[in-house]
Amino acid sequence: MPWGNAIAVTGVLRAACVKLALAVLERWGGAPGAGAAAHERRIATEVLRSMSEAVCVLDRSFDFVSVNPAFSRMTGYGESEVIGSNASLLDSAQHTSSYYVEIRDTLQHQGRWSGEMWQLRKDGEEFLCAYECSTVLDGSGEHAMYVLVLNDITEQKRAEQELRYLANFDPLTNLPNRTLLAERLSRAIVRARRQGDRIAVLFLDLDRFKDINDSLGHAAGDRILRAAARRLQDTVGPRQTVARLGGDEFTVVLEGLASAAEADDEARGIIAAFEQPLLLDDSQEIAITPSIGISIYPDNAQVPTELLKQADTAMYQAKAAGRRTYSRYTDAMDVSARQRAMVSGALRKVLDRGELRLVFQPRLHIATSRIVGVEALLRWHGPEGDIPPAEFIPLAEESGTILEIGEWVLREACLKVAKWQRLGLPDLEVSVNVSALQLLRGDFPGMVGRVLAETGLPPASLELELTESVVMSNAQQNADKLRALRDLGVSLAIDDFGTGYSSLAYLRRLPFTTLKIDKEFVDDLSQGSEDAAITTTVLAMARSLGLKVVAEGVETEAQLRFLREHRCDEIQGFWLAPPLEAAECPAFIRRWRPSAGLPSLEADLAPAG
């Protein structure tokens, strides 16, 4: 009967065969000699030969007596090479020699040993081995020999380790993930309680990472995250835990602090460390700053979840305080965080509920004293009353809701003004504000083209307003989209000019048609003031670049006079009109006469000629 073939069939069978072979060997050791024994021995030998488990037999001094072919395959040693040599031949440097001595001791005294140990192949490669060792006694009850069954479990262990790694570490940065962070933080709390010291949890978010990621691409984004992770760990040192919670959010656990002020020092240190640009793998440099929120054990909270939540809340406070800064949690923050959560929750339903509306602020052409256009401004009447755009637009941008809202604003503005044009204001233009995200995501020019076609508003009647920071956030990619918009025939305005860092020289390369000087510079336009000088220069430069200039937030006659003297093209502001409800706007424009607002200027403002 070909035992070998039968044995090789299944794993279950194989395990049974190991047992059988061992039993036979035991009897062979115990009662040698008889004819039947010789037969059994032949069977046993055959079984061992065909097994895929490596089996070896050692004598009392742990010298090899026999090995099966699987043993040779596993270790690389042929039978003739090992017979007579000591089993220490396979000892690996992964364990101390005393470890092997101990195991052999156990086997000698207890008759069995099973476990895992590293072994060395003939070619010098180490492998992890699962051992089943037992003693075979001779007739007199003396130790006759040892039978060892070996299984190479290196691959299996590696796979297990990989799984464990994936469950606990972030593969992008190799930092602990949320799971391991929670575990380490819990242990840190136990230690701090025992030692009576403090722990700081720092929640760190990279400023404007999303813009960078969107503009440079995700591969560059990944490199930035890896570089930021390294910078962070280098700054706080190898003994403190730095974890990545996902996205551009990192957490640092600082242990052994004597005071909360030490956490502030660390946060300042981290911000200072990020002043140096990050070096990406391909030697490209990028400047990015973090905003940090801090929560302290036991001052602020006692449990990991609470500490993390508070640090997160404090981080938002740091962002609100202008980014590139840190903020330590206080109870008062919780209230504003809850409010923010409520507003962003409500924002999601805002369109369905019809809580948004547009108001329209007229714009005056100074030279002809005619109202030539209106700016559409968004208003939200929420369940709790009116919420100003400066408050909810940043939240809508953060959550991405601005995409839907922005499209609604554009369609609504075009619909309204197209209607007013048909009702007797044929030349009226409308300006619509655009957020960074709208320009970045999807096919914005395509969407604008569709809305114009659907609403019937002539493209020349539409102006899109973009702030400097919107344009500069992703200059190259935006330039293409801006050109596509100009190709549609719409005008493009730089909004709030003067509040950002862009230079006119740079903006000149982009296809803008209009520049809106921010209210901040219009506020103090007394002769000789610094703002007056800036505004005069901007007006002169804009003219030389062929841009139309609109001054925003004009509230007084004096401001108007100054702007007219310096040949500003148009004004907008409370002097002329506040933003008006749609129902009042067309009537206001029709009624408007230069004299209505400011009799003393009537002669100056009357149409020339």
What CA–CA distance (Å, rounded) separates 401 from 350? 10
CB atoms inside a 10 Å sphere around CB 526: 10
In whole angstroms, the minimum distance from the beta carbon of 376 to ligand C2E comes to 6
Pick 332 or 390: Cβ nearer Mg ion: 390
Segment contacting ligand C2E by CB under 6 A, of 56-64, 66-74, 387-395, 594-602? 387-395
Q: Which of 496, 549, 550, 589 binds ligand C2E (CB under 6 A)?
A: 496
Site string for ligand C2E, 436-465 (x = CB under 6 A): -----------------------------x
What is the DSSP code string of 118-131? EEE-TTS-EEEEEE
CB 424, CB 368: distance < 8 Å: no
- Tally of CA atoms within 13 A in the half-sphere of 576 that contains its CB: 34
CB 76, CB 156: distance < 8 Å: no
Residue 10, CA distances (Å) to 15, 16, 332 in order: 9, 10, 67
Name residues contacting ligand C2E, limited to 569-608 (CB under 6 A). Answer: 572-574, 579
The DSSP letter of residue 87 is G
Tokens 């835990």, located at residue: 241
Position 388 contacts ligand C2E (CB under 6 A): yes
Site string for Mg ion, 526-555 (x = CB under 5 A): --------------------------x---
Pick 183 or 520: Cβ nearer Mg ion: 520
Residues 6+ apart with CB under 8 A from 508: 545
* HEC letters along 25-41: HHHHHHCCCCHHHHHHH
Query: How many residues in the shown chain lie near Mg ion by CB under 5 A?
Result: 5
Please report the sign of the dihedral spanned by the C-alpha atoms of residue 264, residue 267, residue 273, residue 277.
negative
In whole angstroms, the minimum distance from the beta carbon of 356 to ligand C2E comes to 9
87 binds, among ligand C2E, Mg ion, none (CB under 5 to 8 A by kind): none
Site string for ligand C2E, 538-567 (x = CB under 6 A): --------------xxxx------------
In whole angstroms, the minimum distance from the beta carbon of 286 to Mg ion comes to 30
Pick 152 or 465: Cβ nearer Mg ion: 465
409 binds, among ligand C2E, Mg ion, none (CB under 5 to 8 A by kind): ligand C2E
What CA–CA distance (Å, rounded) separates 567 from 147? 103
Position 465 contacts Mg ion (CB under 5 A): yes
Element spanning 278, H or E = strand 278-279
312 binds, among ligand C2E, Mg ion, none (CB under 5 to 8 A by kind): none
Position 378 contacts ligand C2E (CB under 6 A): yes
CB atoms inside a 10 Å sphere around CB 311: 27
Pick 388 or 426: Cβ nearer ligand C2E: 388
Pick 390 or 608: Cβ nearer ligand C2E: 390
Site string for Mg ion, 420-459 (x = CB under 5 A): -------------x--------------------------
What CA–CA distance (Å, rounded) separates 529 from 534? 9
378 binds, among Mg ion, ligand C2E, none (CB under 5 to 8 A by kind): ligand C2E
In whole angstroms, the minimum distance from the beta carbon of 413 to ligand C2E comes to 8
Element spanning 570, H or E = strand 570-571
Position 409 contacts ligand C2E (CB under 6 A): yes
CB atoms inside a 10 Å sphere around CB 384: 10
Position 435 contacts ligand C2E (CB under 6 A): yes
Position 463 contacts Mg ion (CB under 5 A): no
Angle ∠(292,298,304) on CA atoms, nearest 5: 65
389 binds, among ligand C2E, Mg ion, none (CB under 5 to 8 A by kind): ligand C2E
Name residues contacting Mg ion, limited to 485-504 (CB under 5 A). Answer: 495-496
Position 495 contacts ligand C2E (CB under 6 A): yes
Q: Which of 361, 473, 474, 491 binds ligand C2E (CB under 6 A)?
A: 361
In whole angstroms, the minimum distance from the beta carbon of 213 to ligand C2E comes to 21
Contacts of the segment 255-262: beta carbons below 8 A, 24+ positions apart? 255/188, 255/191, 255/192, 255/197, 255/199, 256/192, 256/195, 256/197, 257/197, 257/198, 257/199, 257/200, 257/296, 258/197, 258/198, 259/198, 260/198, 260/200, 260/294, 260/296, 260/299, 260/328, 262/198, 262/200
Pick 232 or 439: Cβ nearer ligand C2E: 439
CB 55, CB 150: distance < 8 Å: yes
In whole angstroms, the minimum distance from the beta carbon of 547 to ligand C2E comes to 17
176 binds, among ligand C2E, Mg ion, none (CB under 5 to 8 A by kind): none
In whole angstroms, the minimum distance from the beta carbon of 303 to ligand C2E comes to 40
Binding site for Mg ion (CB under 5 A): 433, 465, 495-496, 552
Binding site for ligand C2E (CB under 6 A): 361, 377-378, 388-390, 393, 406, 409, 433-435, 465, 495-496, 519, 552-555, 572-574, 579
